[in-house]
């Protein structure tokens, strides 16, 4: 999907995280409906993390940095299937096994979701989806921690919460 489709059917969840229906993406965003998000942390064989800046046209957190290829679970999708789709669409990362990383609930004024996070190791070229990714580069975990410590560095809040939880769990 080139640009987020306002009519795309997103899986909507209840308080327990169970899918109870679907809604168009535009309605989910407008009403801040709870939904499922998938996120993929892409690492190279040396352990560096791929960090990118979102385009200014994204429907949530435009122009901010992130270290996850992420997106909404579409109606009828399974989390691993959606994660593979997002990694392929946003960064051109294909045909690599996904390893579950963690699951986390997140809520703020812009979004409410349960995130299913995965990680992959990728040693191929990274190919940005130009409607979604404006820039990207590899960072060591230490470099990413240092950047996250700078309050002036715009980083998506849900991605920050997710990566900080991963760091707190003793990521390699």
CB 66 within 8 A of CB 50: no
- The structure tokens listed for 59 are 């429907």
How far is residue 91 CA from its own chain's centroid? 11
CA gap 1, 25 in Å, rounded: 13
User: How far, in Å, are 101, 135, 158 from residue 151 at the CA level?
Assistant: 26, 20, 15
pLDDT digits (tens, 9 = 90+) for 6-64: 789 999 999 999 999 999 999 999 999 999 999 999 999 999 999 999 999 998 899 99
* Chain centre to alpha carbon of residue 8: 17
- Give the C-alpha separation, 31 to 116, whole Å: 22
CA distance 103 to 100: 8
Predicted TM-score (pTM) of this structure: 0.93
Collapsing DSSP states into helix, strand and coil, what is residue 31?
helix
Tell me the per-residue pLDDT of 107-154, one tens digit each, with 9 for 90 and over.
Answer: 999 899 999 999 999 999 999 999 999 999 999 999 999 999 998 999
Domains of the chain: 9-168 (3.90.79.10)
């Amino acid at each position: 999907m080139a640009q987020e489709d306002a009519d795309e059917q997103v899986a909507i969840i209840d308080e327990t995280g169970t899918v109870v229906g679907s809604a168009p993406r535009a309605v989910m965003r407008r009403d801040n409906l709870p939904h499922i998000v998938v996120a993929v942390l892409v690492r190279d064989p040396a352990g560096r993390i791929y960090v990118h800046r979102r385009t200014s046209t994204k429907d949530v957190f435009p122009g901010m940095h992130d270290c996850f290829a992420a997106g909404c679970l579409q109606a009828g999708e399974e989390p691993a299937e959606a994660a593979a789709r997002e990694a392929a669409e946003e960064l051109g990362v294909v045909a690599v096994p996904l390893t579950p990383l963690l699951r986390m609930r997140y809520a703020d004024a812009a979004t409410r979701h349960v995130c299913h996070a995965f990680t992959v190791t990728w040693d191929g070229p990274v190919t940005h989806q130009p409607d979604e990714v404006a820039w990207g580069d590899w960072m060591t975990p230490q470099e990413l921690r240092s950047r996250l410590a700078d309050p002036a560095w715009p980083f998506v809040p849900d991605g920050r919460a997710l990566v900080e939880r991963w760091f707190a769990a003793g990521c390699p």
